[in-house]
Structure formats: structure tokens, C-alpha cells
Amino acid sequence: MRYALDELKRFAAELLAAAGLDVDKAVIVSRYLVQADAMGHTTHGLAQLPDYLEEILSGAMRTRGEPKVISDRGMAIVWDGERLPGVWLTAKAVELAADRASMHGLCALAIRRSHHIGCLASFLPIATDHGLLALIACSDPSAAMVAPFGGRAAVFTPDPIAVGIPTDRDPILIDMSSSITTAAMSARLRREGRRFPGLWAIDAEGRSTDDPNALVADPPGSLLGTGGPDHGHKGYGMALMVEALTQGLAGHGRADGESGWGASVFVQVFDPELFAGGAAFERQTGFIADLCEASPPIDPTRPVRLPGAAALARLREAESQGLEPHRGIMEDLVVFARRHSVAAPRSI
């Protein structure tokens, strides 16, 4: 069953609005969830919607109002998200940081107490479409499932960082967690009875394993940082950087004993035009992109690709051919649709 993207957005927005979310926020949240699915980030798109709906119904996700401005120095901004929908907050933050960067060259914005922000890569085009370089990072201070290098007890969340790099053609869209894999992917593999493709986790004793059930055992194991047992000090460094940018600059995080599902967020946008010029920037990034694509592949059937190239190809296909959501997602949503008398989406 394939659906037009607009029809999926309509359906998701109506579900969110029926649960009680402001219509303007419901439209934005739906746009970026469907965009994530269309880009192939299927664990962080509509797959999140049932949980968002539950959080709205339980009162854990706030449904109306604006973030509170804790500090605004022009290029350095802090918001209290007050548990408003993170997808809406992050889209809004990237837009504001892009506006400010176009005036001053760069702008950074940290958000405390956001709700879950979905797929970081889905927000990057807001900046790269205008020739702007964007960084987005997030952490969830209420959760811990990634161990520091050499440790057995988890401290961090997967702490992703996304980078959108404009070039003289398609942008490069990077979205990588500090851990080898994500919480959502681990949950999906558990549900589907599958294993990690490598020894990406440890059990509570610190033994390496490819079993995603290790994370929910009693006592629980942990995900490993990027680099794994061999050079996991890299993922450890990335996680510490992300936690400092998100919770440190936002002035709120693990030290506050946060308990609700959510995020601390860091957004930064640079306008290359106000550094050495947009054309000079894209000349370098386009040239580097060419070099990567020209590197002969180790496996002749798998040419070297730029981060985001597959996602953009999928997005274009979904825009013209529609989208088939990952298995199980529509079935979960139809239960909510019935409960709230929302019309199921028409397939193509």
C-alpha cells in the first residue's frame, strides 16, 4: 500500500489535532515526520507518531503556546521548550538560527525541555536550501543507554549530530549518532526478532554482544559508542561534545533528574556568504564531493556515496511515486484513527 506524501501528512496532522495538538503545530510535526520516512529514516518518522499521540493524551507533551526565551543575545539563544513538540520546536529553531545567521554569519540556539525531536536530518534542508551550513544535535537527559568507553553502566543517549553541507549541487546531509546504532533501531530489531549486524552492545557484565535484548535485560546492558571496543573513545568524545552543547548550553539536563521522554537540543547555522563567500564555500564542498564519488569502490557493486544522496533519491521517488510506510506503522495508526474518527489515508 503506497500513499501520496500529502495524504500521509494530512492523516498525521488530523491525528495529532484530534489528540489535542494546536493545528499549526500538528501540520509542522506531520511534515517532518513524513519527510523522515520519505528520506528512509523510517525509525524516526511516522513510527514515532503513536508515542507522540500517547504523550499528548497523557499530558506529557504540551499542546499549545510558545517556547520561553531564557536568553537572547542575538547570535546566542536559549529556549525553554516547556515540553512542546520537539519536531515543531526544532523546525522553528533552525528557521530562526538561519535568519540570524544571514545577518551575523552564525547563530546558535540551545533548547531545554523539548519533547522528542524526531529525525535530525529532516530539518537540514531548511538551511541547506538557502546555502547555509547547519549543525543539529540532541540528547535526552531522562534516559541512558550508551556506556562511556571502558565502562559497563550507561550514561548517555545515542546523542546524534546532524550536519547539512550545501554544495554546488545536492547538499551533503549527515545524521549520525555517537553510539554505533540508535535506541529506535534497537527496539525495532528486538520487535522483529533480529540481531545487530555487529557486536554493537554489551551486557551488564561488559561482554560484547549482537543481541538487542541485552538492553532490556535485568540488569540492562548498554549500546557501545562509535568505534566499539577497538576505538570507542571516539564515540565517547562525540557524546561528551553533544551533551555539553545540548544540556550544558541549555543549562538544564541530567543534573536536574529529568524524567520525561524528551530532548535537549542544539542548533547552529553558519552563513558561508559572511565568511569567505557562498560560492567559495560551495566550490570546495562540491570538489570534495566529486573526489569522494570518484574514489573506486572496495566492492565494485557498491559505489562510494555521499551522506544524504540515498535519502534525497528516496525523497524524490516518494514525492513522485508515493511512499509505503515501514511494516506495522499504518496498522498502529489505524487504531488511533478509529478512536478519534479520523479518515484513514487513501492509498494510491
Site for a second copy in 123-142 (CB under 8 A): 133, 135
Q: Of 266-305, which residues contact a second copy (CB under 8 A)?
A: 270-272, 274-277, 280-288, 291-292, 294-299, 302-305
81 binds a second copy (CB under 8 A): no
Q: Are 162 and 181 in contact (CB under 8 A)?
A: no
Strands 106-114 and 76-80: what pairing?
Answer: parallel
Q: Which parts of 106-125 interact with a second copy (CB under 8 A)?
A: 106, 108, 110, 112
Binding to a second copy by residue 194, rule CB under 8 A?
no
Rule CB under 8 A: say whether 38 interacts with a second copy. no
Of 287 and 335, the one with the shorter C-beta distance to a second copy is 287
174 belongs to the binding site for a second copy (CB under 8 A): yes
Dist CA 185 CA 188 (whole Å):
5
- Selected from 17, 78, 98, 117, the binder of a second copy by CB under 8 A is 78
Taking CB under 8 A as the binding criterion, the range among 38-46, 49-57, 83-91, 174-182 that sits at the site for a second copy is 174-182
Q: Closest separation between CB of residue 46 and a second copy, Å?
A: 24
Examine residue 190 and tell whether it contacts a second copy (CB under 8 A). Answer: no
- Can you tell me the distance from the alpha carbon of 140 to that of 262, in angstroms, rounded to the nearest whole number? 6
Return the bridge partners of 172, or none: 165
- Give the torsion through C-alpha atoms of 220, 226, 227, 233, to 10 deg: -90
Query: Could you say which of 193, 255, 320, 341 contacts a second copy (CB under 8 A)?
Result: 255
Site stretch for a second copy (CB under 8 A), options 39-47, 56-64, 71-79, 320-328: 71-79
Interface mask toward a second copy for 8-27; x: CB under 8 A: --------------------
Q: Is 52 in the site for a second copy (CB under 8 A)?
A: no
What single-letter amino acid sits at 305?
R
Per the DSSP assignment, residues forming a β-bridge with 164 are 134, 173
Helix (H, G, I), strand (E, B) or coil at 51: helix
Least distance in angstroms from the C-beta of 289 to a second copy: 8
Tell whether residue 165 is a contact of a second copy (CB under 8 A). yes
Asked whether the beta carbons of 226 and 232 are under 8 A apart, the reply is yes
- Which range in 24-32, 46-54, 74-82, 318-326 contacts a second copy by CB under 8 A? 74-82
- Examine residue 313 and tell whether it contacts a second copy (CB under 8 A): no
* Cα–Cα distance measured from residue 133 to residue 127, given in angstroms and rounded to the nearest whole number: 6
State the DSSP code for 246. Answer: I
185 binds a second copy (CB under 8 A): no
Report the site for a second copy in 210-229 (rule: CB under 8 A). 226-228
Grouping H, G, I as helix, E, B as strand and the rest as coil, residue 133 is strand
- Please provide the DSSP assignment of 104-134 as one string: HSEEEEEEEEE-----GGGGHHHHHTTT-EE
**Which DSSP state fits 244?**
I
Size of the site for a second copy (CB under 8 A): 89
Contacting range for a second copy; rule: CB under 8 A; set: 55-63, 150-158, 316-324, 334-342: 150-158
Q: Which are the contacts of 142, defined by CB distance < 8 A and separation ≥ 6?
A: 258, 259, 260, 261, 262
Helix (H, G, I), strand (E, B) or coil at 306: coil
Pick from 67, 247, 262, 329 the residue near a second copy by CB under 8 A: 247
Residue type, 304: V
Q: Which residue is listed with cell 538551511? A: 127
